[in-house]
């Protein structure tokens, strides 16, 4: 996590902008502005809507990245939004990751993979590329990915190996932000501990051999902003584990609520907001359906920048 920590220190900002575009979050005139270009390119007209949306997603992301790159240390593209559009969407995802990296941002791919060991080894190429020289080929352009621990150690080991070999990181789901997370994660084990506490101990152990100069390992944990008390207890329980904290803003998480998830130096956590930043333009009274695509893109960028600054300032206010 040393690169991430340096980026956070440089920007004095422990927040990450989630790039989760959907048709509802991209102004319609931006999508429409690609209609002609795409219709001329496609062989099968049935492919046009997904291609048009994919191109719009990338332009939308590019405008947001340009607007926040000097404020935030990282972005977190959510692959589900892109996979929904098929191959063109995957292109938009990888192009977004590549562009963010070119802008000096740490790119955290929210891909939530997890499978048996042999399959996990293939998924782990998100961090290492494939081929004879893994380091020379990095098609996904991610610095880290999210991983599901439900399959246990053999599903995680390939990701840890790929992460350490390539100076990248993984973030393992421990206490997720969603309302139903308690159905499994809060179950009490015979030992008296909760399932998520047991997972927390596994995660701390998985990272033990990979601790960097700042005291955090290559194996991070996902801890929802919607669980302030559990998050605080997990911070004490997992001293070498960096937290990715989603659930801020749109899901109700607050700066005060996440304050306990940081360490004594105000480090140790990266707080995500997706809809709260990329959809900030929707709250602007400057938006009009009749504005041009270029003006809408400017408004998206300007609104995202303001929302990212507000989030940064709110987090700074609760940290030492």
Ligand X SMILES: O=c1ccn([C@@H]2O[C@H](COP(=O)(O)O)[C@@H](O)[C@H]2O)c(=O)[nH]1
Residues forming contacts to ligand X in the complex (CB under 6 A) are 18, 20, 78, 110, 176-178, 222, 224, 246-247, 249-251, 272-276
112 labelled catalytic: yes
Q: Which is nearer to ligand X, 121 or 315 (CB)?
A: 315
d(CA 311, CA 85): 30
Nearest to 145 by CA among 178, 180, 110: 110
Calculate the CA dihedral of residues 197, 153, 269, 15 and round it to 10 degrees. Answer: -130
Judged by CB, which is closer to ligand X: 89, or 224?
224
Whose Cβ is closer to ligand X: residue 29's or residue 176's? 176
* Residue 250 C-beta: closest distance to ligand X, Å: 4
Q: Least distance from C-beta 253 to ligand X, angstroms?
A: 8
- At its nearest, how many Å lie between ligand X and the CB of residue 147? 11
Contact 27, 280 (CB under 8 A): no
Q: Measured between alpha carbons, how far is 31 from 299 in angstroms, rounded to an integer?
A: 15
Nearer to ligand X, 41 or 178 (CB): 178
Residues whose CB is less than 8 angstroms from the CB of residue 205 and which lie 6 or more positions away in sequence, other chains included = none
Least distance in Å: CB of 184 to ligand X?
13
Looking at 101, 112, 232, 309, which residue is catalytic? 112
Dihedral (CA of 184, 154, 215, 12) sign: negative
Q: Please tell me whether residue 190 adopts helix, strand or coil conformation.
A: coil
What residues are annotated to the active site? Answer: 112
């Amino acid at each position: 996590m040393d690169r991430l920590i340096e980026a956070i220190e440089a920007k004095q900002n422990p927040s990450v902008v989630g790039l989760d575009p959907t048709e509802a979050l991209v102004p319609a005139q931006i999508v429409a502005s690609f209609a002609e270009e795409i219709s001329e390119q496609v062989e099968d007209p049935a492919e046009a809507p997904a291609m048009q949306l994919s191109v719009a997603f990338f332009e939308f992301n590019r405008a947001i990245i340009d607007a926040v790159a000097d404020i935030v240390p990282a972005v977190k593209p959510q692959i589900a939004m892109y996979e929904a559009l098929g191959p063109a969407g995957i292109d938009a995802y990888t192009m977004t990751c590549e562009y963010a990296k070119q802008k000096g941002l740490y790119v955290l791919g929210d891909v939530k993979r997890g499978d048996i060991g042999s399959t996990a080894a293939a998924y782990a190429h998100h961090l290492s590329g494939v081929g004879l020289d893994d380091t020379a080929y990095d098609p996904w352009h991610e610095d880290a990915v999210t991983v599901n621990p439900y399959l246990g150690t053999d599903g995680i080991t390939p990701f840890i190996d790929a992460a350490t070999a390539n100076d990248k990181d993984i973030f393992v789901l421990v206490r997720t932000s969603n309302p139903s997370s308690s159905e499994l994660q809060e179950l009490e084990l015979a030992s008296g501990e909760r399932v998520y506490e047991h997972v927390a101990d596994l995660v701390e152990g998985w990272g033990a051999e990979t601790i960097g100069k700042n005291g955090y390992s290559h194996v991070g944990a996902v801890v929802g902003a919607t669980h302030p008390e559990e998050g605080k207890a997990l911070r004490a329980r997992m001293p070498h584990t960096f937290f990715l904290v989603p659930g801020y803003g749109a899901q109700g998480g607050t700066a005060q609520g996440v304050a306990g998830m940081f360490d004594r130096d105000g480090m140790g956590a990266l707080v995500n907001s997706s809809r709260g930043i990329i959809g900030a333009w929707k709250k602007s009274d400057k938006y009009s359906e009749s504005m041009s695509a270029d003006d809408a893109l400017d408004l998206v960028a300007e609104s995202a920048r303001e929302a990212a600054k507000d989030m940064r300032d709110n987090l700074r206010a609760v940290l030492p």
